[in-house]
Each structure stands twice: as structure tokens, then as C-alpha cells.
Amino acid sequence: MNRKALIDQIFQKKSFLCVGLDPDLNKIPKHLLETSDPIFEFNKAIIDATSDLCVAYKPNLAFYECLGISGWKSFQKTIEYIPKECLIIADAKRGDIGNTSLYYAKTFFETYSCDALTIAPYMGSDSVKPFLTHENKWAVVLAMTSNEGARDFQFLEANNVPIFEAVVEKCKEWGSEENMMFVVGATRSEDIAKMRKLAPNHFFLVPGVGAQGGSLKEVVAYGINKECGLLVNSSRAIIYADQTENFAFGAKKEALKIQTEMGEYLKRL
């Protein structure tokens, strides 16, 4: 999916919501465990309930890989089921060198037809550039994350510049606003403002709203740009809003609440 198509979806749906598909067999409704593929049946119901309210889905590979071959099959079925107009972000946090990165890119962009992939840039250009060679695909680079441990490394200074700033500035040399996004955590609003100054036109994938306590209002106040420039992810707050047999209705209700708020912000652009 190219940038224009993504922006068009945002304004058509009045939403910049990304739904995280993190299916945990210990949390999904028990009646689904009786089906042949509980993970896919759970995801399918969530997608059916939310696809008119979001513009992207983000399956986290950890929840699939841990199940071996069956998990990969569930992942593939999920990817194939997501409506074509929705951006698909594989949250795999890959980052290696040489042919390894090339084959990771091939795996997610060609074999599974994902639109975007989260990338760990710690190994430098070798771990980022190979993901920028596929047309209409996105590298989503980890820049400033929402977890507590983010400050262990990301805020350390090198040459009087925080490492996350150095990552953004260097990555901007390799990619563009058309094929690179940055992961920007929602839990520190003042840092979102810093990120927006560093990358005024890039899209940000913003985790941390919902279960992690981030504020959508503050994310918008400090991070939105004239084309929106935001994909705000919510996982647990939506998919586990209701853990009964009516879980899909609970997910829809929570997604609608977020989308309605987003629609009000988009009116101002």
C-alpha cells in the first residue's frame, strides 16, 4: 500500500486506528478452543467487527511463532482474511545483515504479502536498507518505544545527541516518507513532540494507547500533521475488551469509541 492510499483510507474512514492482533490462547474465549484453529477464528471475529473502524492491523508474530507450524498457518490465514484496503503491519522486529535481511523482507513482503514490517535498526544500514527495496512496502523502524526499558539505551547520548534522535536522522538518509515509518511510544507526550520535529512528514506507528496508559488526546496534540501522519495502535484494550462469547461485540464497541474520538481530531485538519 502506498502513502496516498493509506492517507485516503484515513480520511474515508475518519480513523487512524491500528488494531493489534495478539491472540493469546490463555485469554481468548474458551469456546473457541473447541474449533480447529482457535487463533484464526478469534482473529476473524475481531476483523469482522472492526474492519470498518480501523485502517490497519498489526499481528504480533510472537503470538504465532510460539505455536510452531500451526501458528504460522493461522498467521497466513489471518493475513489473507484482512480486507485489502487495510494496511497490514507484521510486528516481527526483524533486523539483521546482508542476505538475512533480504530474506526477511522476502518472507513478509512477498510470501505473506504484508504491507509493512517493524525493523530493529541497531545493526545500522545493513539491517534497514534491504527492507526499503520493495515497492509500496514500508519499513517501520523502532525509534522511541513505549516500554519502561526504552530509557536503558534509546535516551543515552552519543555526541551530545540522544540515540533515538541519531537513529531517526540516519534512517531518514536511507528511506523516505513513502517507505519508512517510525515507532513512537505514546506514553511520553513531550518526546512525541521531539520526534515530530525530527520527522515532520513521516508516519508514526504509535503503541501504548489503552492498556499501557497512553493518551490519544496527547498523541494527537504533539504528533499529528497535516496528513494525519499517525497510526495509533491498540491491542489488548480492543481485542480483550470482552472475554465472553460476545467478545467481538465488545471489541467493536471499544474500537468505535476510539474511532469516534479520532474522527473529531481529523475534522480539524
**Residue 34: alpha-carbon gap to chain centroid:** 30
The residue from 14, 93, 106, 257 that is catalytic is 93
Burial of 13 (0-12, 13-18, 19+ CB in 10 A): buried
Scored b (16 or more CB within 10 A) or e, 137-164 reads bbbbbbbbbbeeebeeebeeeeeeebbb
**Is 197 an annotated catalytic residue?**
no
Contact partners, residue 14, CB within 8 Å, separation at least 6: 259, 262, 263, 266
As a residue count, the chain comes to 269
DSSP for 74-88, please give it.
Answer: HHHHHHHHS-TTSEE
Strand-strand pairing, 161-162 and 157-158: antiparallel
Query: In whole angstroms, how large is the CA radius of gyration of the chain?
Result: 18
Q: Could you list the active site residues?
A: 93
